């Protein structure tokens, strides 16, 4: 059953990715503006512009260009950037690694804290700790990343002077040697994630605490702490897995904002630069990679939820029958 579940989800994800890739290519290709004019300047002759269009393949049908682009992408030939005049693959892979490091540190930092806060809020529901955590989570969720980033720079960089205001890393050094520059971007990404995860954990914990097996365990002499950690928390974390995976889509959007505010050399910054300069090959590759990340995160969450929750497998088996 597990194998069939994974196979169905993989096929669905693959089909979705194919449709998304076609949509990305079509939308990017029909963006307004003459690429030949943009590359050659306003005083280029019609003959020169025609040569550039032919060299870039823009004079061929859209469907032909899509299948050729998709074939090259699958073989690792992602083309060259029109703006930077360099191969796309090495640049995108390095920027993707930088973004993955930033997002990974944000998730690894805030998810345990948010889960702990949700457990405390559920255990102390109705009391000051519960109200403080819930109110803080709602405030963090309501503040956009741009606003929180500027506030963090103002307080911790300009006022207290504890950390740098920019995350720009010199090209000849490793990011790991400048971890202090990542503190503010990580905080900016983590605040909204804290609100969603802590509130979901709290809601799931409160629902589980009302179930009959909790009262039965307590009547049998099991300590409240053991019931809370061994049984209630385990069941309450199932919906949280889906929430964390769904927040990857927010995290991708947040990376675009945060990386540009802090001048961090990540994929989000590269995406915005490609869009502003109409660097179509770079834009198509970066958007497709981000879409693949979102689809992959939802796929992993769906599979994990099905594996960890026996009820889901039973329901799906009954539906298939």
CB 257 within 8 A of CB 149: yes
Range in 87-91, 274-278, 285-289 the model is least confident about: 274-278
Confidence of residue 205 (pLDDT cuts 50, 70, 90): confident
CB 271 within 8 A of CB 290: yes
Confidence of residue 65 (pLDDT cuts 50, 70, 90): confident
Among candidate residues 45, 74, 103, the one where a domain is terminated: 74
Can you tell me the mean pLDDT for 260-287? 88
Rounded CA separation 157/166 (Å): 9
Rounded CA separation 214/307 (Å): 24
Can you tell me the mean pLDDT for 274-297? 86
Judge whether 87 lies within some domain.
Answer: no
pLDDT, tens digit, 9 for 90 and up, residues 217-257? 888 887 877 887 777 877 777 777 777 777 777 777 788 88
Is there a single domain that holds both residue 217 and residue 295?
A: yes
Can you tell me the mean pLDDT for 83-88? 86
By C-alpha distance, which of 184, 109, 173 is closest to 145?
184
CATH code, domain with 180: 1.10.3720.10
Judge whether 131 lies within some domain.
Answer: yes
The torsion angles phi and psi of 39, rounded to 5 degrees, stand at -80, -35
Rounded CA separation 163/285 (Å): 34
Q: Tell whether the model's pLDDT for residue 313 goes beyond 90.
A: no
Range in 88-92, 189-193, 263-267 the model is least confident about: 189-193
Rounded CA separation 179/113 (Å): 20
CB 111 within 8 A of CB 192: no
Judge whether 79 lies within some domain.
Answer: no
**Which residue did the predictor score with more confidence, 94 or 308?**
94
Domain range spanning residue 61?
2-74
Q: What is the pLDDT of residue 319?
A: 46
Judge whether 83 lies within some domain.
Answer: no
**pTM for the structure as a whole:** 0.79
């Amino acid at each position: 059953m597990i194998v069939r579940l994974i196979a169905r989800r993989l096929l669905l994800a693959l089909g979705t990715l194919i449709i998304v890739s076609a949509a990305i290519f079509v939308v990017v290709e029909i963006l307004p503006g003459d690429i030949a004019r943009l590359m050659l300047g306003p005083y280029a002759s019609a003959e020169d512009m025609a040569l550039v269009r032919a060299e870039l393949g823009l004079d061929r049908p859209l469907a032909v260009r899509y299948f050729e682009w998709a074939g090259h992408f699958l073989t690792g030939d992602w083309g060259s950037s029109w703006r930077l005049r360099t191969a796309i693959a090495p640049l995108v892979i390095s920027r993707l690694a930088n973004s993955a490091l930033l997002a990974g540190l944000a998730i690894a930092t805030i998810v345990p804290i948010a889960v702990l806060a949700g457990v405390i809020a559920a255990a102390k529901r109705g009391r000051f700790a519960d109200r403080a955590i819930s109110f803080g989570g709602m405030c963090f969720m309501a503040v956009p990343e741009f606003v929180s980033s500027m506030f963090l720079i103002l307080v911790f960089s300009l006022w207290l002077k504890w950390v740098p205001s920019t995350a720009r890393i010199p090209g000849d050094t490793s990011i790991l040697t400048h971890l202090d520059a990542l503190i503010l971007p990580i905080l900016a990404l983590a605040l909204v994630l804290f609100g969603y995860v802590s509130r979901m954990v709290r809601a799931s914990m409160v629902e589980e605490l009302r179930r009959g097996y909790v009262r039965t365990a307590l009547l049998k002499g099991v300590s409240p702490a053991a019931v809370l950690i061994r049984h209630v928390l385990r069941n309450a974390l199932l919906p949280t897995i889906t929430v964390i995976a769904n927040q990857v889509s927010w995290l991708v959007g947040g990376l675009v904002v945060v990386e540009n505010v802090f001048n961090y050399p990540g994929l989000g910054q590269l995406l915005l630069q490609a869009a502003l300069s109409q660097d179509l090959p770079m834009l198509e590759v970066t958007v497709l990679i981000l879409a693949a990340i979102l689809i992959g995160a939802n796929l992993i969450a769906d599979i994990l939820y099905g594996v960890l929750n026996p009820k889901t497998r039973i329901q799906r088996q009954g539906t298939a029958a």
